[in-house]
Chain A
Amino acid sequence: MPAIDFGDTAFILMSAALVLFMTPGLALFYGGLVRSKNVLSTTMHSFFAMGIISVIWAVVGYTIAFGGSDGPLGAFIGSFEHVGLAGVVGDVTGTIPTPVFAMFQGMFAIITAALITGAFAERIKFSAYAIFIALWSILVYSPLAHWVWGGGWLMQRGALDFAGGTVVHIASAAAALAGAVVVGKRKGYGTANFQPHNLPMTVLGAGILWFGWFGFNAGSALAANELAGTAFMATHLSASAAMLSWLALEKYQHGKATTLGAASGAVAGLVGITPAAGFVGPMAAIAIGLVTGALCFFGISLKNRFGFDDSLDVVGIHGVGGTVGALLTGVFATVAVNEAGANGLLAGNASLMLEQLIGVVATIAFSFVISFGLFKAIDVVIGLRPEEAEEEIGLDQSEHAETGYVL
């Protein structure tokens, strides 16, 4: 058995906790953007994922993602030797104990499921949501994690995804698009006032996401080493640059730079750098941030052009940002930063671009098709939406019998 490195272990334990903290951060980010009558139901969408996805991950998620790739289906799902986390205790992955690795990866499964919820906020039954994310995590997230990180077919082809641009952001955005389409628009869409009810909460949430993202990206080095430092630097610079490009465009188009724009731009930059963080240098990271921030600024208007109600812009930010990041990884990646990576377009290798594109298209198709089917099936069996009157009084009262703010 390889030796455990104490520094690496300590760092990944802390990184796992940081990634977990992103989910309550997301609850604040999303919670502030909805109307006050839905603040708790929106918060619950994220917070509940910490409960259900963790248990699912332990029972079957981990083994589907990180079980062996030797069997006939090995390119697509892991084998089932780790059902119930069997054989994990006492084992070592790389230089860290496998329980640490399994928990670190489990935190990614939680935040990915929670990201989807921005698309159908303010109008889905809690029971329908609970069933959806449980099945989605098993049928979509875990197989995708196997494709990209667990020895599956995308990993074998050589696609680069350092911390989850495809697995986390593109996958959740494709599911979000399916959700927005099948669940349908919020009551009053186009006429009612959907103004965010608490932007300070949203900005605090964005700050927590930024903070947690250091665990997400730097931790994806799976060691406390130079690569982790490189990923940390790239992550931070991309978020900063994306905030600037978003705000510049906003100022130009609407006349004012907004706090919501600053928060949205930073998150877009974090999404964009996620696949690239361990493969690019600092100036490439700034370029990725500037481009992602700008394209996501335009990305959030896609929903108006195509007429779907992606309430909190999961497609516009995570879908566009994840796709742009994955493709720009194919442009800026260089083995000068990470020998285990690959050279991209700028380093004279055009073929990586093709692999990145295949990864993006396969992820969108796989996640969208299965998510669409899941939403349709749940709608037929138990129904996705509350009664109109229940939606009108707000999901906090109708779904949870609670009120967010008592005056």
Chain B
Amino acid sequence: MKKIEAIIKPHRLEDVKDALNKLGVAGLTAYEVKGYGRQKGHTEVYRGAEYTVDFRPKVKIEVVVDDDLAKQVEDAIIETARTGKIGDGKIFTYDCEAAVRIRTGERGPEAL
């Protein structure tokens, strides 16, 4: 099994979710996160006072899938999350050692 984490632009979340659904990915976790990469922050002005906002709002999604689905999931995220502008995010894929469905005790890919 592989765990795939992706940091994406918040407004792309719905499309990414739909694409993963179509691939048969059964579950997805999403967080609202803040961070910066090469995009860096931006400036906001309140009553003339300028503040540099270093951390930009992003969404981080996590899915765990069978090994043979991992490449397709990555491709689907790339396709749906890409806008072509700076700040589109990153994908990280890891080996996942175990998965358990708490309700039934099923283990491994069966639990996904």
Contact = CB atoms under 8 A, between A and B. Distances in A.
Interface of A: 193-196, 253-254, 256, 258, 260-261, 264, 300-301, 313
Among B46, B47, B49, B51, residue most surrounded by chain A Cβ atoms (within 10 Å): B47
Given A195-B51, A253-B48, 6 more contacts: A195-B44, A254-B45, A254-B48, A258-B46, A300-B47, A301-B48
A195 B46 CA distance: 7
B100 to A, nearest CB: 28
B47 A313 contact: yes
B44 A261 contact: no
B50 to A, nearest CB: 9
Contacts of A195: 44, 46, 51, 53
Which bucket holds chain B's interface residue count?
A: under 10
Among B44, B45, B48, B53, the one with the most A-chain Cβ atoms within 10 Å of its Cβ is: B48
Contact of A300 (B44, B48, B51): B48
22 contacts: A193-B51, A193-B53, A194-B49, A194-B51, A195-B44, A195-B46, A195-B53, A196-B46, A253-B48, A254-B45, A254-B48, A256-B45, A258-B45, A258-B46, A260-B46, A260-B47, A261-B47, A264-B47, A300-B47, A300-B48, A301-B48, A313-B47
Contacts of A254: 45, 48
Which of the listed residues B44, B46, B51 has the most CB atoms from chain A within 10 Å of its own CB?
Answer: B46
Contacts of A253: 48
Nearest to A301: B48
A196 B48 CA distance: 13
Classify the interface of chain A: helix, strand, loop or mixed. Answer: loop
A293 to B, nearest CB: 13
Contacts of B49: 194
A253 B50 CA distance: 12
Secondary structure of the B contact surface, majority rule: strand
Contacts of A194: 49, 51
A253 B48 CA distance: 9
B91 to A, nearest CB: 28
A301 B44 CA distance: 16
Interface in B27-53: 44-49, 51, 53
A254 B49 CA distance: 10
Contacts of A313: 47
B48 to A, nearest CB: 6
A266 to B, nearest CB: 14
A406 B24 CA distance: 36
A261 B48 CA distance: 9
A300 B48 CA distance: 8
Give 3 closest A-B pairs by Cβ, nearest first.
A254-B45, A195-B51, A300-B47
A300 B46 CA distance: 11
A134 to B, nearest CB: 30
Contacts of B45: 254, 256, 258
A258 B50 CA distance: 13
Contacts of B44: 195
Contacts of A261: 47
Contacts of A260: 46-47
Contacts of A258: 45-46
Nearest to B52: A193
Nearest to A261: B47
Contacts of A300: 47-48
Contacts of A196: 46
Nearest to A264: B47
A253 B53 CA distance: 20
A254 B50 CA distance: 10
Nearest to A246: B47
Contacts of B51: 193-195
Nearest to B47: A300
A34 to B, nearest CB: 12
Nearest to A192: B51
A314 to B, nearest CB: 12
A253 B51 CA distance: 16
Contacts of B48: 253-254, 300-301
Contacts of A193: 51, 53
Nearest to B44: A195
Interface string B73-94: 0000000000000000000000
A275 to B, nearest CB: 24
B95 to A, nearest CB: 32
A289 B102 CA distance: 65
B55 to A, nearest CB: 10
